[in-house]
Structure 1
Amino acid sequence: MNWRRMPLGYVQANAYIWKNEHGECLIFDPGGEAQKLISYVKEKQLTPLAVLLTHAHFDHIGAADEVRAEWGVPLYVHENEKEWLTNAELNGSARLIGNGITVKEAEKLITSEGTLQIGSFTLEMFHTPGHSPGSVSYYSAEEGFVISGDTLFEGGIGRTDLVGGSQEVLLQSIHNKLLSLPESTLVLSGHGDETTVLTEQEQNPFINGFSL
């Protein structure tokens, strides 16, 4: 297994570290506890190439500044949420925890779906809005996983009562983008344990019975 799940921050949102055979890695959704994450990466003697966000809610961005400053790497976020990084009202921290969490602007804005190449890492990026307008999912066919953020969970789906949320759009994203992946694909969610596309097709009560 070339990836590691690490729950971090206020609500233990899942950060993911994906490494290759050269000791390089990508870091997804560093939500908090920057020193815990940095210490792990250094202990494993990994060299980060980038920080990628599935979306810009506070619990997924909290350690982004410290991590990218440590290694001088860029931060990727969808263009629909570029302002959320610096706005505590948009990213939910002002409302949900009463403590404004913001980070610096992203160096890289994701503007369209397609292949994302970072060093030797190849990802397919899907725009999967609904939980938030700039939610994206990162798929590796070679590794057989999709990092879904807060779009799809084991037995659940993302909440849609925050800024820009829509349950109809969310379910369309899940059906059109995620459930169309191979059934054996691991779904690495923003909270909780991993699951598979097949498991969610068959058992997720929020998905079954929904028709486009």
Structure 2
Amino acid sequence: MRIHVLPSGPIETNAYLLTDARRGEAVLIDAPHDVWASVEPILEAEGCRLIALLITHGHWDHIGDAARVQAAGVPVYAHAADRPLIETPETMAMFLLPGYEVAPTRIDHFVEQGQALELLGKTFEVRHVPGHCPGNVLFYLAPEATAFVGDALFAGSVGRTDLPGGDFNELARSIRTQIYTLPPDTKVLPGHGPATDVYTEMRSNPFVPA
């Protein structure tokens, strides 16, 4: 399996395309604006069919191309707490940058805490990490020691909590109970910026110390 990091959209939101050429399948995690233009050539080059779009949370910069991906016949997975943001994105209109729009996307499969998604012949464990956004989830791949955490945790920082539905105390609790409880060598792939790991953030994150 290969993990392609695809920063896209006006604020360089990280999308992650996981491809398995042997199986001929791929999974996309988050769909910022314009990411589909990067996804299609990779799918063609590796002979893969996109079988799922996993949304970490419903903020506009993570779902700008979600409707386009869904229109290609790809089922969408997300947490029910972010259904209003994803299915009626006009609720976020005041936060959009000028010139950008987000089309409504139907959630085909709701994910929840502790759920195991079987995709690409692997188990994606779902952990609910609210605080930045009510429906923020992470997707954890144990054999790869990798967690896709959305905007809950960044390298040396954490997600903002001043947007509707944000709560710093809840975010700190989510990080400590759902991310810092992963194995220390777990690679953390965030919604913005570079990768980090659980051990580094537990030792040095200035906002949420272990």
C-alpha spacing 1:22/1:145, structure 2 compared with 1 (3 Å): same
Query: Aligned runs of 1:101-120 on 2, under 5 Å?
Result: 101-118=102-119, 120=121
Q: Which amino acid aligns with 2:94?
A: A
**1:11 aligned onto 2:11:** yes
Q: Which residues of structure 2 form unaligned runs of 5+?
A: none
Please name the residue that 1:66 is paired with.
68
Distance in 2, Cα, partners of 1:123 & 1:93:
32
Query: Aligned runs of 1:28-177 on 2, under 5 Å?
Result: 28-33=29-34, 34-70=36-72, 72-90=73-91, 92-98=92-98, 99-118=100-119, 120-177=121-178
- 1:32/1:63 contact within 8 Å kept: yes
Structure 1 segments (4+ residues) deviating >6 Å: none
**Greater CA drift, 17-26 or 141-150:** 17-26
Give the TM-score of the pair, scaled to structure 1. Answer: 0.91
C-alpha spacing 1:201/1:112, structure 2 compared with 1 (3 Å): closer
- 1:181/1:197 contact within 8 Å kept: yes
- Secondary structure at the counterpart of residue 103 of structure 2: coil
Q: Which amino acid aligns with 1:174?
A: I
Provide, for residues 148-204 of structure 1, a one-character-per-residue CA deviation record: whole Å limited to 9, x for no partner: 000000000000011100000000000000011111100000000111101111111
**Greater CA drift, 138-147 or 108-117:** 108-117
Percent identical across equivalent pairs? 34
Distance in 2, Cα, partners of 1:39 & 1:183:
35
Offset, 1:119: 5.0
- Secondary structure at the counterpart of residue 89 of structure 2: coil
- Secondary structure at the counterpart of residue 82 of structure 1: helix
C-alpha spacing 1:86/1:100, structure 2 compared with 1 (3 Å): farther
Offset, 1:112: 4.1
Offset, 1:46: 1.6
Q: Which residues of structure 1 form unaligned runs of 5+?
A: none
Please name the residue that 1:189 is paired with.
190
Distance in 2, Cα, partners of 1:147 & 1:85:
19
Q: Which amino acid aligns with 1:51?
A: L
Give the TM-score of the pair, scaled to structure 2. Answer: 0.92
Distance in 1, Cα, partners of 2:112 & 2:189:
23
Distance in 1, Cα, partners of 2:205 & 2:68:
36
Offset, 1:121: 2.8
